Amino acid sequence: MELQFIVLISGGEFLRFIISGIFAGIGFAISFVTCYFLVPIISNWMKKRNIVGIDVHKKDKPKIPERGGLSILISVLVAASILTIIYMFVDIILFSQLLVFLVSILLAGIIGYLDDAIDLGTLKPFLLILPCLPIIGGQFIFAQLFNPGTVNLLNIVGDPILPIFNPQPVIPLVGRFSIYTLYFVLVILVFPILCNGVNMLDVYNGSMSGTMSINFGVILIGAIFFVLFGLSSPVGILLSAIMFGSTLAFFRFNKYPARVFSGNVGSITIGAGMALIAMEGGVEAICLIVLVPYIINGFQMLASIGRLIEGKKIKARPVILLKDGRIKANPDPKAPLTLTRIVLAGGPMTEKEIVKSFLYLTFFCAILAIITAILCNPIFVL
């Protein structure tokens, strides 16, 4: 394929892309190494304090250290902080985006840790709206700083710099679509929806960390395409590289047989990271496609129960643990139709096989996401 159909940027923008690629590699390395060394430390600390969870899908019901997701939060904060300091001297717009990411993900991580420690219950969805405040606040504060007098609360007037996110998402085959006010509503709602959705699939060893590693890797590729197509700034590359590094390192310890559980601190941090990458990186369409297994899990559960309800209050369980250690779909029509139950329709499987199935489905959605990213190329706009 000729490069002119892929690389639609030139000169200064292409140099900015190359520099961001180098810093993305540094961000990946920092988050990966930090997380890799933190996980054993944090899991030992949790074990000593008897903060453990029972691995219910194993016959011997072992006790596994919980809240290992704290290592994901810390490694992401470390990598993002270093890149923020670097970009203070390199690129002021990327600096503002990284700073907002840092504050938002810290807020989300604190909420996740509190949920693990004291069980926030019905308060959690409302508290999860808080991480959107740095994004919305940052959008107006930095826009006024960079381009005074051009931004008001509900409309973007003229052609100002949109420093944190662009409320005109890219739709494949269509191009940019303006949904200014609606986008701000989505910014508020995306954190509770995504964080809870990611949390809902954290049910087996490595199911969440493995699938999200693939997702962040694919979003990284998609973000690279978007920058080359001239559709967004390189912040998507930086942020997805950081999240990819920490999630991949954590998966090493969380995969079957798990030596550590992530806890709500891990799943909420990862969900928030995904939301921030989608908005700041402008890769909403790609994120939506890679999250299809999570959407199926959440939507089918909601459709089969018919209302929003806490998991603990559901009487009929979706799966049954057999004597031989395999897991079987519950044939009870009242049981919620989760992704696990759908995957088990063909017959009982071990926990490892269930997670492998999730990974295969995620990988397939990743291919669809790459196709979606390519279809966003301006040359394909109808």
Partner 1 sequence: MVNKKSLVILMGIITVIYFIIIAIVLLYFLYISQLVNPPGRVGPLWDLITSGVKLLIPGVSVLGWLYFWNLLIRMYFWRTVKTSNAGAEEEEEDTPEE
Nearer to partner 1, 15 or 309 (CB): 309
Nearer to partner 1, 11 or 331 (CB): 331
Q: Should residue 51 be labelled a site residue for partner 1 when binding is judged by CB under 8 A?
A: no
Q: Should residue 300 be labelled a site residue for partner 1 when binding is judged by CB under 8 A?
A: yes
CB 274 within 8 A of CB 287: yes
Nearer to partner 1, 48 or 61 (CB): 61
Binder to partner 1 among 148, 149, 158, 331 (CB under 8 A)?
331
Q: For the CB of residue 35, give the shortest distance to partner 1 in the complex, in Å.
A: 23
Which helix H or strand E contains 200, and what residues bound it? Answer: helix 180-200
Give the binding range for partner 1 (CB under 8 A) out of 136-144, 187-195, 242-250, 314-322.
314-322
Pairing of strands 319-321, 175-176: unpaired
Residues 61-90 touching partner 1, rule: CB under 8 A, are none
HSE, CB side, 13 Å, CA atoms: give it for residue 55: 22
Nearer to partner 1, 91 or 116 (CB): 116
Residues in contact with partner 1, total (CB under 8 A)?
49
Residue 321 three-state SS: strand
The rounded distance, in Å, linking the Cα atoms of 239 and 276 is 8
Binder to partner 1 among 22, 157, 379, 382 (CB under 8 A)?
382
CB 327 within 8 A of CB 321: yes
Pairing of strands 63-65, 52-54: antiparallel
Q: Should residue 368 be labelled a site residue for partner 1 when binding is judged by CB under 8 A?
A: yes
Nearest to 218 by CA among 172, 283, 294: 283
Q: For residue 311, what are the β-bridge partners?
A: none
- The residue type of 196 is N
Q: For residue 328, what are the β-bridge partners?
A: 320
Binding site for partner 1 (CB under 8 A): 56-57, 171-174, 177, 203, 289, 292, 296, 299-300, 303, 311-312, 317-324, 326-329, 331, 337-338, 340-343, 345-349, 353, 356-357, 360-361, 364-365, 368, 382
